[in-house]
Amino acid sequence: MKLLIFISLLAVFCDAALRHDRFPDDFLFGTATASYQIEGGWNADDKGENIWDRMTHTRPEVIKDRSNGDDAADTYNNYKRDVEMMRELGLDAYRFSLSWSRILPNGLANKVSEAGVAFYNNYINEMLAYNITPMVTLYHWDLPQKLQDLGGFASPYFPEWFENYAKVVFTQFGDRVKYWITFNEPREICYQGYGYVEKAPILNITDVGTYYCAKNLVLGHARAYHVYNDLFKPTQGGECGITISVNWMGPLTDSEEDLYAAEIKRQADWGIFAEPIFSEQGGFPKEFSEIVAKKSAEQGYPSSRLPAFTEEEREYVRGASDFFGVNHYTANLISANEYKGNWPVPSMYADVDVGTYVPPEWVPAASSWLKLAPNSIFNALTHLHNRYNGPVFYITENGWSQLLEEGYEDDSRIAYYRAALNSVLDCLHAGVDLRGYMAWSLMDNFEWMQGYTERFGLYEVDFTSPQKTRTPRKSAFVYKHIISTRAIDPDYEPDTRTMWIDEGH
């Protein structure tokens, strides 16, 4: 009898343990894209000019193949085909972004474009007709040029502009959209755009660009969150969060010095955005703030180059998010003394002053920065889970690039997705409250400074064809199989090159 009870208890426990070899039924599987990277229609109807229009038109040499997003995948005219692909994949959700200057041609909220709103209404309604949940990013890097001319994210008016834009968006689409992301990747907006030359508006203001932008971005996020919370959530009932790029930054060795170096690197890379919103005490990360304050004083600045929050601002921002969106791609190993780069002084990199190392055995993608780093999703998410007291997470991007010539048999992408999704299962098993996963990307798109030379799509896009023809790669079939079975079969080999739509989807 005792033995029987023991055996049945064992069965219950094993079942509990095994449960996470499958993804829960309500886990949201999706794909992600961004407006400038796919839409085209850069001057369709009354759309206003944005910073990517301006930069690619006036400085074409900064884009590797001198291309731009004028037409991109022409989703502006092909949105029905996009939704058909979502149905082919059997997606639960689709993450995409809104073009601010398509909705507000003047940047400011005095005039709402009917054509712009109609386009997004059509896109959203088409998804909903097939039970696909829209997850909408308000800002994925395409600021109205006029607001840039006024200082962009460095302007103290920025939080107000963003709040007004957010209000328009919630009013227009909030009856149907229940997942809102304010910003995509603050670090890339602020560091790459203001502190360096990797994203529009390529300001390269290395000393304070990143930091002024960071403070205003965080305040803008909080204003949009509070507006949603106070005026829309009570009737619309959705969630509002932010997406931060969190690649894993672990220590190169387990020396005290390297452990500390990795902590400072994490504080600078994502902590200046995550800490004010998700930490108990709020404000910018403590050690990194102290470093910048000290260096600023030594460099003769009258106050820290990283502006502090007032007590009131700190309280306003603290806790202002319903979930933590994570874009995750890869990892770096951090060293206190070795592998340092040649960065300008003063700059964020000089403030951090650590080296980064990537082991040669990590398989490389087509993008120079992207390697398959083992367990990196697990390392990143369990770290955030512990540090920020177990928030709700969504992985809002994760994916792999290839060169176009590599064709449809994208086995390295398949290997990457399988490894990443196994790491997702490990997170679920460890108790991380991770509720969804968006693969980057549904289809090939304009890869920013790399133009069309690096391809992230589950579907290939033929950018030379008038229809911007979309064709599934092998990875699309594999992802479809994972979504429908809620499990990863390492041996699954699709036996057809033809996509189909499952009954009931």
Catalytic residues: 185, 397
What backbone phi and psi angles, to 5 degrees, belong to 386?
-70, -40
Size of the site for ligand GBH (CB under 6 A): 13
Residue 217 CB, nearest approach to ligand GBH (Å): 15
Question: Which segments within 98-215 are labelled E, that is strand?
Answer: 133-139, 179-184
- Minimum distance, C-beta of residue 454 to ligand GBH, in the bound complex (Å): 7
Nearest approach in angstroms of CB 419 to ligand GBH is 17
Q: Which of 397, 410, 444, 460 binds ligand GBH (CB under 6 A)?
A: 397
Q: Which is nearer to ligand GBH, 74 or 188 (CB)?
A: 188
Q: Which stretch binds ligand GBH (CB under 6 A): 81-89, 101-109, 181-189, 250-258?
A: 181-189
Q: How do beta strands 248-251 and 434-440 pair?
A: unpaired
Least Å from the CB of residue 196 to ligand GBH = 9
Q: Which two tokens stand for residue 380?
A: 């990143």
Task: Kindly tell me which residue out of 34, 147, 244, 434 binds ligand GBH, with binding defined by CB under 6 A.
Answer: 34
CB of 247 to ligand GBH, least distance (A): 7
- Annotate each residue in 244-273 with x if it binds ligand GBH (CB under 6 A) or - if it does not, as one string: -x----------------------------
Contact indicator for 269, 285 with CB cutoff of 8 Å: no
Smaller CB separation from ligand GBH, 327 or 347:
327
Question: Does residue 417 bind ligand GBH (CB under 6 A)?
Answer: no
C-alpha–C-alpha distance, residues 141 and 470, integer Å? 24
CB atoms within 10 A of CB 495: 6
Q: 33 vs 289, which CB is nearer to ligand GBH?
A: 33
* CB of residue 286 to ligand GBH, shortest distance in Å: 25
Q: Which position among 369, 389, 411, 485 is part of the footprint of ligand GBH (CB under 6 A)? A: 369
136: which strand partners?
A: 96, 180
Of the two residues 216 and 356, which places its CB atom closer to ligand GBH in the complex? 356
Q: Among the candidate windows 184-192, 259-267, 273-281, 294-302, which touches ligand GBH by CB under 6 A?
A: 184-192
Residues 79/96, Cβ–Cβ less than 8 Å: no
40 burial via Cβ count (<10 Å: 0-12, 13-18, 19+): buried
Cβ pair 246, 268 in contact under 8 A? no
CA gap 391, 324 in Å, rounded:
7
- Stretches 183-191, 281-289, 296-304, 471-479: which one binds ligand GBH (CB under 6 A)? 183-191
Query: How distant, in Å, are the alpha carbons of 25, 102, 113, 236 from that of 231?
Result: 32, 24, 22, 9
Nearest CB to ligand GBH, comparing residues 156 and 341 = 341
Q: Which of 219, 241, 34, 223 is nearest to 140 (CA)?
A: 34
Smallest separation (angstroms) from ligand GBH to the CB of 494: 25
Q: Say if residue 77 is exposed, middle or buried (CB neighbours under 10 Å; 0-12, 13-18, 19+).
A: middle
Binding mask 321-340 for ligand GBH (x = CB under 6 A): ------x-x-----------
Q: Which residue type is seen at 186? A: P
> Which CB, 278 or 329, lies closer to ligand GBH?
329
Per CB under 6 A, the segment of 18-26, 180-188, 208-216, 404-412 that binds ligand GBH is 180-188
One character per residue 189-228, x = contact with ligand GBH (rule: CB under 6 A): ----------------------------------------
d(CA 141, CA 327): 15
Q: Is 184 in the site for ligand GBH (CB under 6 A)?
A: yes
What is the smallest separation between the CB atom of 448 and ligand GBH, expressed in angstroms?
6
- Name which of residues 454 to 473 contact ligand GBH (CB under 6 A): 456
- The DSSP bridge partners found for residue 447 are none
Helix (H) or strand (E) holding 440: strand 434-440
C-beta nearest to ligand GBH: residue: 369
Residue 252 C-beta: closest distance to ligand GBH, Å: 16
Report the distance separating Cα 81 and Cα 199, nearest Å.
Answer: 29
Shortest Cβ distance from residue 483 to ligand GBH (Å)?
A: 21
Question: Which residue of 23, 100, 309, 440 would you call a contact of ligand GBH, by CB under 6 A?
Answer: 440
Q: What is the DSSP string of 313-371?
A: HHHHHTT--S-EEEE---EEEEESSSS-----SSSHHHHH--EEE--TTSPB-SSTT-B
Query: Which among 43-51, 182-190, 264-272, 373-381 is the span making contact with ligand GBH, rule CB under 6 A?
Result: 182-190
Residue 144: DSSP 8-state = B
Name the CA dihedral angle for 249, 254, 260, 262, rounded to a multiple of 10 degrees.
-10
CA distance linking residue 115 with residue 104, whole number of Å: 11
**93-97 and 459-461 as β-strands: parallel, antiparallel, unpaired?**
unpaired
Binding of ligand GBH by 39 (CB under 6 A): no
Q: Does 188 bind ligand GBH (CB under 6 A)?
A: yes
Does 447 contact ligand GBH by CB under 6 A?
yes
Of the residues 185, 263, 353, 444, which one makes contact with ligand GBH according to CB under 6 A: 185
User: Which residues of this protein are in contact with ligand GBH, per CB under 6 A?
Assistant: 34, 37, 184-185, 188, 245, 327, 329, 369, 397, 440, 447, 456
